[in-house]
Amino acid sequence: MIKLIEALKLAIENERNTKEQYRQQAREAVDPEVRLMFEHLARDEEKHEKQLVEKLQALKLLYLED
């Protein structure tokens, strides 16, 4: 169970880092289409992050109940 929790924490951190990279690329983009693409990708990463956080919270609750 602990390994799964650690894996989820790592995945969350990866999503956050990738989201920030995409946001930085969007800020630096000169082409509006490229900027929109990176903004869209950042939003996708944010959704993934939220999903993983929800899974982590649920898993922690289950782990505490055992």
pTM of the model: 0.86
- Domain count of the fold of the chain: 1
Q: Name the band, by pLDDT with cuts 50, 70 and 90, for residue 1.
A: low
Q: Contact at 8 Å (CB) between 42 and 19?
A: yes
Structural domain of residue 18, as residue ranges?
A: 2-65
Question: What's the pLDDT tens digit per position in 29-59?
Answer: 999 999 999 999 999 999 999 999 999 999 9
Q: How far apart are CA 8 and CA 52, in angstroms?
A: 7
Give CA 15 to chain center in angstroms: 3
Which residue shows structure tokens 């990866």? 14
Residue for token digits 């999903």?
Answer: 51
